[in-house]
Chains A and B, each alone.
Chain A
């Protein structure tokens, strides 16, 4: 049977292959690392892509890599060991920093990178991403004991994000 740890192994393999230069788990699945799990049906992964010649970002290399590994994909997701994974190319300075400052965690011995809660809050509260559900998730994170209040304030000020 497919397993979550194999999905995570695939993320590391993708990075080792050079298709992506860095990644960090974000979205609802990242919450699980900091607070309680919430229902979600996909795994969001923020990625930094290798430098390209032109300004247009393409997910084609990721899809080609996935096909070579035998994973199926559609427009939005790649099904990796039973888990629909959505790869989101970093879209702003905030998401760049969220990936670069992600922390290392272990899942059944597999090393993985997860966006810090302070950055998750800021990403949830971006005007373009702001929904009632995401605001609730940001509030739940803010109330958790693992939050670095100084870092949160710093991130929110620098990236002009408010509750």
Chain B
């Protein structure tokens, strides 16, 4: 018996996309020190991912140990 895959409604999809836009807008509106603090966290995540992938990193390619 063929099962019909469940799909989200157009309304749900629109709502999810609106939420994504709102999140990006909120991130754009952060103060610069808040953005630098966010960057420092992104660096930690990116560094872990690159290391896990076995990417050969240069010595300077590591999270900054600074105050935002």
B67 contacts A35, C-beta separation under 8 Å:
no
A77 contacts B60, C-beta separation under 8 Å:
yes
A39 contacts B33, C-beta separation under 8 Å:
no
B65 contacts A4, C-beta separation under 8 Å:
no
Query: Of B33, B46, B60, B66, which is within 8 A of A107 by CB?
Result: B33
Chain A CB within 8 A of B15 CB: no
Q: Which residues of A contact B61 (CB under 8 A)?
A: 41
Q: Which residues of B contact A37 (CB under 8 A)?
A: 27, 35-36, 38-39, 42
Count the A residues whose beta carbon is within 8 Å of the partner chain — how many? 27
Proximity bits, A122-163, B CB within 8 Å = 1, else 0: 000000000000000000000010000000000000000000
B60 to chain A, nearest CB (A): 4
Count the B residues whose beta carbon is within 8 Å of the partner chain — how many? 25
Query: Of B28, B33, B39, which is within 8 A of A108 by CB?
Result: B33
A35 to B27, alpha carbons, bound, how many Å?
8
A107 to B68, alpha carbons, bound, how many Å?
10
Complex: chain A residue closest to B36, CB-CB: A4
A2 and B65 contact, Cβ closer than 8 Å, known pairs A32-B32, A76-B60, A108-B33 = yes
A133 to chain B, nearest CB (A): 12
Chain B CB within 8 A of A71 CB: no
Which one, A16-24, A46-54, A57-65, A81-89, is touching chain B? A81-89
A144 and B66 contact, Cβ closer than 8 Å, known pairs A32-B35, A39-B43, A76-B60 = no
- Contacting B at CB under 8 A, from A1-50, are 1-4, 7, 32-33, 35-42
Instruction: Please give the residue numbers on chain A whose beta carbons come within 8 Å of chain B beta carbons, in ascending order.
Output: 1-4, 7, 32-33, 35-42, 74, 76-77, 79, 81-84, 105, 107-108, 144
Q: Can you list the 7 inter-chain pairs with the closest CB atoms, starting with the nearest?
A: A39-B46, A84-B60, A82-B66, A3-B67, A39-B42, A37-B39, A36-B27
